[in-house]
Amino acid sequence: QRLKRVTKAETTCGFCAVGCRFDLYGKDGEVLGTRPADPDATPANGYSTCVKGKFGYDFANSDERLETPLIRRKDAPDGPAGPDGFREASWDEALSRVVEELRETRETHGRDSLAVFSSSKATNEENFLMQKFARQVLGTKNVDNCTRLCHSSTVAALKQTMGYGAMSNRIKDVGNADCYLITGSNTTESHPVLATKLKQNVRDGADLFVFEPRRIELAEHADQFTRTAGGHDIAWINGMIRHIIENDLHDEAFIEERTKGFEDVREKVQSFTPEKVEELTDVSPEELANAAETIAEADSCVFGWAMGISQHTYGTQTVLALADLALVTGHVGKPNAGVSPFRGQNNVQGGGGDMGTIPDNLPGYQDITDDDVLDQFEDAWGVRPPDEPGLRVTEVFDEVDEGNVRGMYVIGENPAISEPDVTNARESLAELDFLVVQDIFVTETAEYADVILPAATFTEKYGTVTNTERRVQLVHPAVDPPGSARADWKILQELARRMGFDWQYDSPTDIMDEVNELTPIYGGITHERLEEKGDGLQWPCPDEDHPGTPYLYEDEFNFEDGKARFVPADLGDPTELPNEEFPIALTSGRVLYHWHTGQLTRRSEGLMGHVGESYAEIHPQTAGQIGVADGEYVEVESKRGSIVVRAKVTERTAPGKIFIPMHFAEGAVNELTQEELDPVSRIPDYKLASVRVSSM
């Protein structure tokens, strides 16, 4: 029964990880709209939301919502099944089929022939159950999350240097910093409300340095916009560190008292002379010196970055360099300063790592090889979790090709659009013996499924999500799920029971109780407290008397000796550069009006009205060479595939480079991107590919 009256639910936006709070209104099963909530209970956004928060909810009302389970017809073609390729099924039939296939795959090919891909669109409670389902019920070590594709390099580098793979400060403080270094982040479009705070503070006098290959909107507000060549960001960051040390601008007391390994970094950066930096990056010695000196002398500096930094084969090294810069200037562990990876989906911090949906950590970043940790989980679950790291999602598809992974359970993700060199990923999906997809639409990935299970979306759920500043906030339902669709946790529980595990959760609160018990950084983050507080709690919050942690590392870094580690960053080489055959450098990214693979925003009329199709930003000079005018179609080819998109002729992008958004199935940029992975985090390089562009 759908709710039959107007309901108001205080909730958290379902798009980006700024985590804006608003009231969501619903009636008769339809979401009616959003309104800013009490500003005291909305620390990330106050009264603001961006266009997605205001208008981007109508996907939830779409006629295309899945309302009943679907099973692939026996006569459906191999690969994508098409609109007639599925038949409706009862929950009982669909779940029986899933259980039977998962069991058979496991019995025939072993536990690790199964892989689970979980979603940062689902709540913390649901992600906790996803990894529990993988490790306890299926017994597989292969569980991963979409964070692999966006900030896994960030997490790897920050864990090495500071101890937690997370933003150290809070969004409120981003609005109060003395100075900003923003790089690899189109903040205005990807994290709009956060960018508004930042720009307000810049108008009030804070210094803003933007280092980017594209002339993004934030550049218009910068004291210094430096158009970098792209591909060698480590060089200018190490060059800045060198300049700071050479000019005695480093924070000696901080380095002495709170860090280890400074001499290694001092030695490493010696070779990054201003001349070398300029040659590699187009950053002039004057720009380098000006930014380095202002940052070092500022009372507080926020180092903000996103996927322009993290999504490279040397992403981990670049974030190490940024962490070194933050440490050398002492801008960590104090108010209004810190390392600020601007993360992606609304629950990417919680679902993407905190809840253990990653192959090397149990919930709370507890090491999967630690016997004491494993003992605790075994006591709680009656089953010892696998004690070695599993496959990262970017490795799973290769293992499918090798015949080592035979079954996959994909929850809320769309690898048929989001994987790099997506043609390969689609072939792998088609090769699987069994694929179950749990989602709210028949996504491009679901087209390959054997069984599709209809799930609920954020407008229909109760639970928690954790935004980019580690703030755990509640979501409340404004409407019921359509038809017989169910919340992910209910589907997982039913499957677990059918596979012989007596899960007894009456509500997400029961799941959170287990999270509190097994996850020390969430030990004191109970639903009861969150309902009382309204404005959420930032982890670590180890017990119910703890107030949460607005900024990390105030007293010590997260290592036994409390000291941060300088780790010298090696200059990585781009794995693909423009050449005679493919002379143009392609980068991909986001636009304000869309979100990820576009499953939600492409179904929102208001948002599609602004940007309704894929396109390529091309510099006028390059457009002239190709012979294409603004608005005409071009073919873009890499050695992996080709797409046709409309040309948008603009000076935002540099000559010889093009930009294509990531959100569209028609003109999908990942038909062109490369599969090379960062050796540490296994994140793909979505930001550099060589292409040729021709007029049509």
User: Site for ligand SF4 (CB under 6 A): which residue of 193, 216, 586, 591?
Assistant: 193
| Candidate segments 10-18, 59-67, 519-527, 621-629, binder of ligand SF4 by CB under 6 A | 10-18
Cβ-based nearer residue to ligand SF4, 180 or 566: 180
Measured distance CA(525)–CA(387) in Å, rounded: 27
- Kindly tell me which residue out of 29, 46, 53, 598 binds ligand SF4, with binding defined by CB under 6 A: 53
Number of residues that bind ligand SF4 (CB under 6 A): 14
Residue 539-568 contact track with ligand SF4, rule CB under 6 A, x = bound:
------------------------------
| Dihedral of alpha carbons 318, 323, 329, 334, sign | positive
CB of 191 to ligand SF4, least distance (A): 6
Binding range to ligand SF4, per CB under 6 A, among 48-56, 119-127, 137-145, 651-659 = 48-56
Write down the least CB distance from residue 193 to ligand SF4, Å. Answer: 4
343 residue type, one letter: R
Q: What six digits make up the tokens of 292?
A: 């380095």
Q: Rounded to 5 degrees, what are φ and ψ at 584?
A: -115, 140
Q: CB 174 → ligand SF4: shortest distance, Å?
A: 13
CB of 33 to ligand SF4, least distance (A): 13
Q: Beginning with the edge strand found earlier in the chain, give each strand of the sheet holding 407-411 in spatial order.
A: 86-88, 70-72, 451-454, 434-439, 407-411, 114-118, 143-145
Contacts with ligand SF4, 135-174, as mask; x by CB under 6 A: ----------------------------------------
Per CB under 6 A, 52 contacts ligand SF4: yes
* From 11-19, 288-296, 400-408, 637-645, span contacting ligand SF4 (CB under 6 A): 11-19
The two beta strands, 224-227 and 259-260, are unpaired
Closer CB to ligand SF4, 191 or 221, in the complex: 191
Question: Does 418 contact ligand SF4 by CB under 6 A?
Answer: no
Residue closer to ligand SF4, measured from CB, 57 or 377: 57
* Closer residue to ligand SF4 in complex, CB, 194/569: 194
Among 9, 25, 43, 45, binds ligand SF4 (CB under 6 A): 45
Report the b/e string of 456-492 with b at 16+ CB within 10 A.
Answer: bbbbbbbbbbbbbbbbbbbbbbbbbbbeebbbbbbbb
CB 592 → ligand SF4: shortest distance, Å? 9
For residue 659, state whether it binds ligand SF4 (rule: CB under 6 A). Answer: no
- Paired tokens of 495: 């499957």
Residue from 165, 192, 231, 589 touching ligand SF4 (CB under 6 A): that is 192
For ligand SF4, the closer CB: 53 or 385: 53
Q: Please check whether residue 331 is in contact with residue 359, taking contact to mean a CB–CB distance below 8 angstroms.
A: no
By CB under 6 A, residue 13 contacts ligand SF4: yes
Smallest gap from residue 318 Cβ to ligand SF4 (A): 24
Tokens 């039939």 map to which residue?
93
Nearer to ligand SF4, 344 or 386 (CB): 344
Contact string (CB under 6 A) for ligand SF4, positions 18-37, x = contact = xxx-----------------
Pairing of strands 114-118, 407-411: parallel
Work out how close the CB of 175 gets to ligand SF4 at its nearest, in angstroms, rounded to a whole number.
14
Count Cβ atoms within 10 A of the Cβ of residue 156 and give its class: 0-12 exposed, 13-18 middle, 19 or more buried: buried
Which is nearer to ligand SF4, 13 or 323 (by Cβ)? 13
Residue carrying the six token digits 């970043």 = 365
CA-based nearest residue to 158, from 550, 682, 559: 559
At residue 316, φ and ψ (nearest 5 deg) are -65, -40
Among 16, 325, 327, 475, binds ligand SF4 (CB under 6 A): 16
Contact between 472 and ligand SF4 by CB under 6 A: the answer reads no
Single-letter amino acid code for the residue at 238: N
CB of 340 to ligand SF4, least distance (A): 15
- Our CB check for ligand SF4 shows the closer of 214 and 594 to be 594
Per CB under 6 A, 49 contacts ligand SF4: yes
Site membership for ligand SF4, residue 416 (CB under 6 A): no
- Residue from the set 9, 10, 11, 15 that interacts with ligand SF4 by CB under 6 A: 15
CA torsion sign for 460, 461, 467, 471 is positive
Does residue number 128 form part of the binding site for ligand SF4 (CB under 6 A)? no
Residue 499 binds ligand SF4, judged by CB under 6 A? no
- DSSP per position, 433-498: SEEEEEESS--TTGGG-SEEEEB--GGG--EEEE-TTSEEEEE--SSPPSTT-B-HHHHHHHHHHH
Q: How far is the CB of 364 from ligand SF4 (least distance, A)?
A: 24
Residue 184, sorted as left (phi over 0), alpha (psi -120 to 50) or beta, turns out to be: left
CA atoms within 13 A on the CB side of 228: 21
If one asks whether residue 296 binds ligand SF4 (CB under 6 A), the answer comes out as no
The letter for the amino acid at 463 is G
Write the CB contacts of 279 (distance below 8 Å, at least 6 apart in sequence): none
Separation in Å, CA 149 to CA 420, 465, 466: 9, 19, 18
Query: Which residues, 6 or more positions from 675, have their beta carbon under 8 angstroms from its beta carbon?
Result: 394, 420, 421, 424, 684
Nearer to ligand SF4, 165 or 192 (CB): 192
* Number of residue whose CB is nearest ligand SF4: 53
Q: Which residue from 439, 442, 449, 446 is spatially nearest to 412, judged by alpha carbons?
A: 439
Contact set with ligand SF4 (CB under 6 A): 13, 15-16, 18-20, 45, 49-50, 52-53, 191-193
